[in-house]
Amino acid sequence: MSLHVNPVLQKASLAVWRTWRSWKLSLHTSTVHASFGPGHWERSEEHSSISTDKPPHTPVMLKEVLHYLNVQPGQVVLDMTFGGGGHTKAIMNMVPEVTVLALDRDPTAISLAQQLDKEHSGRVKPILGRFSEVEALLSNMNVQPGSIDAVLLDAGCSSMQMDQPERGFSLSKDGPLDMRMDGERYLDMPCAADVVNTLDQQALASILTAYGEERHARKIASAIVEARRVNPITRTQQLASIVAGALPAAVAYARKDRLHRPAHVATKTFQALRILVNDELNELHKGLLAAQVALRSGGRLCVITFHSLEDRLVKRFLRGDEMSNLDHYHFSPRKQGPRRAKLEEEGDGGMVHWLPLSKKVIAPEKDSIKDNPRGRSAKLRVALRK
Ligand SMILES: C[S@@+](CC[C@H](N)C(=O)[O-])C[C@H]1O[C@@H](n2cnc3c(N)ncnc32)[C@H](O)[C@@H]1O
């Protein structure tokens, strides 16, 4: 997709966000969650089953992250996406005299951080919350702005979340259509089933286009609306079959991932719903802003993303593009580039807060993809806080 403004996407995205906001508002005024829309359905009560036999998540681009974070004894690191703790564990093993503030919005990840804290005599400080809450959470802990030495943000979902069918992210295993990274923390937060059973066809198509970059969004949205007239859509496999049924077999067979391996035809639909349910792009922007406030001058930031929407946001943030009107972040680099250059010429260096540590975006090495195929689409951007 082009880096320049796509007016259709911009319009669709705005429409989605208006619908979403008014929907959220109406949700906040209702007392019971998930009892609205065309059909009433119960949320599933399936429970989590993390296996303790294998590591819950294999960290992506570990060697590169350790290199660029360059953590030294006595430093304080903020891991904004603790997940299965893979990156944090590696940091602690390399430099035991470090303190890691371990954030995650998923209570399951925080339980693992608490366990790790015990193993490292209080050097891991678990923090349950979202990127958008980081500034307040750090302030409550008396962590001063500009005092952190290194920040890691490894966006998206962990394997722990993806592999547990009951979390509703999985395309291959059946489970309730949930996808909330926060688990049951916010009972009024809509889950993926709420989205597919409630939003109108146009809004659904806009979501699939904007967040899934799905070319067949309209066909899929129409099939979803047809299917839910008969029965509410409550299961991951149910949605996956509806999407598969909406597209000609030739399209389904032609779908490939970035390594040109066959991909499920509903992958983009699932991605779009996940981004919407968890407000991932706004959260990412708020996370980057929080890192900017938290890091000391000379502190290091590593950001790993897994799809182009996220990577574009990070790239533009680091180069200081105007992002205040993030409804969404569709703005023209053509306009912003010269404007920023002009401001820099005029001496307003405050616009750009980052020095890139690598000229180009960093991709995983081929060998590491073989060992950890989930990391195949990862992109790492690294920068120094000015
Ligand atoms: C890719 S995993 C991180 C894996 C981790 N680096 C490891 O090595 O195990 C991403 C994690 O970030 C968390 N996350 C995603 N968005 C978040 C947000 N807005 N606020 C806080 N945590 C978030 C998810 O719950 C998930 O556990």
- Work out the burial of residue 238: count CB atoms within 10 Å of its CB; fewer than 13 is exposed, 13-18 middle, 19 or more buried: middle
3 state SS of 296 = strand
- Closest atom, ligand 1, to C-alpha of 182: 25
What pLDDT, on a 0 to 100 scale, did the predictor assign at position 36? Answer: 33
- Closest atom, ligand 1, to C-alpha of 87: 8
Distance 225 CA to ligand 1 centre (A): 32
Q: Answer yes or no: is the C-beta of 310 below 6 A from any ligand 1 atom.
A: no
Distance 247 CA to ligand 1 centre (A): 32
54-58, 267-271, 295-299, 365-369: least confident range: 54-58
CA atoms within 13 A on the CB side of 144: 3
**Alpha helices, DSSP H, located in the chain:** 7-29, 62-69, 86-94, 107-119, 134-140, 159-163, 192-198, 201-212, 217-230, 236-246, 249-254, 267-277, 280-294, 308-318, 333-345, 366-371
What pLDDT, on a 0 to 100 scale, did the predictor assign at position 248? Answer: 87
Q: Does the pLDDT value for residue 366 go beyond 60? A: yes
70-84, 249-263, 332-346, 354-368: least confident range: 332-346
Q: Answer yes or no: is the C-beta of 190 below 6 A from any ligand 1 atom.
A: no
Q: Answer yes or no: is the C-beta of 221 below 6 A from any ligand 1 atom.
A: no
- Closest atom, ligand 1, to C-alpha of 181: 25
Distance 248 CA to ligand 1 centre (A): 35
Q: Answer yes or no: is the C-beta of 364 below 6 A from any ligand 1 atom.
A: no
pLDDT by residue (tens digit) across 27-57? 443 322 333 333 345 555 565 555 445 677 8
**Test site for ligand 1: of 64, 81, 106, 181, most ligand atoms within 8 A of the Cβ:** 81
65/61 Cα distance (integer angstroms):
6
Torsion, Cα of 225, 229, 230, 234 (10° steps):
60
What percentage of the chain exceeds 90 in pLDDT? 68
314/316 Cα distance (integer angstroms):
5
Reported confidence tier of residue 116, pLDDT bands at 50, 70, 90: very high
Q: What mean pLDDT comes out for the span 169-197?
A: 95
What pLDDT, on a 0 to 100 scale, did the predictor assign at position 242? Answer: 97
Q: For atom 13 of ligand 1, which residue has the closest CA?
A: 81
Domains of the chain, first to last: 7-49+191-277 (1.10.150.170), 62-159+281-385 (3.40.50.150)
What pLDDT, on a 0 to 100 scale, did the predictor assign at position 23? Answer: 57
- Closest atom, ligand 1, to C-alpha of 158: 2
Token pair of 298 as six digits = 């000379």
pLDDT by residue (tens digit) across 185-232? 998 899 999 999 999 999 999 999 999 999 999 999 999 999 999 999
Q: Does the pLDDT value for residue 3 go beyond 50? A: no
Reported confidence tier of residue 333, pLDDT bands at 50, 70, 90: very low
Spell out the residues 6+ positions from residue 113 whose beta carbon is closer than 8 angstroms to its own: 82, 85, 88, 102, 104, 124, 126
Q: What mean pLDDT comes out for the span 53-73?
A: 90
Q: What mean pLDDT comes out for the span 247-257?
A: 77
282, 132 in Cβ contact below 8 A?
A: yes
18-22, 61-65, 99-103, 298-302: least confident range: 18-22
Q: Give the single-character DSSP code of 256.
A: B
More confident residue, 122 or 27: 122
What pLDDT, on a 0 to 100 scale, did the predictor assign at position 249? Answer: 83
**Test site for ligand 1: of 87, 104, 180, most ligand atoms within 8 A of the Cβ:** 104
Spell out the residues 6+ positions from residue 311 whose beta carbon is closer than 8 angstroms to its own: 305, 361, 379, 381
Reported confidence tier of residue 22, pLDDT bands at 50, 70, 90: low
- Closest atom, ligand 1, to C-alpha of 129: 21
**Cα-Cα end-to-end distance for the chain:** 31
Q: Answer yes or no: is the C-beta of 232 below 6 A from any ligand 1 atom.
A: no
Q: Answer yes or no: is the C-beta of 83 below 6 A from any ligand 1 atom.
A: yes
29-43, 256-270, 308-322: least confident range: 29-43
Q: Answer yes or no: is the C-beta of 105 below 6 A from any ligand 1 atom.
A: yes
**Test site for ligand 1: of 181, 278, 314, most ligand atoms within 8 A of the Cβ:** 181
Q: Does the pLDDT value for residue 237 go beyond 90? A: yes
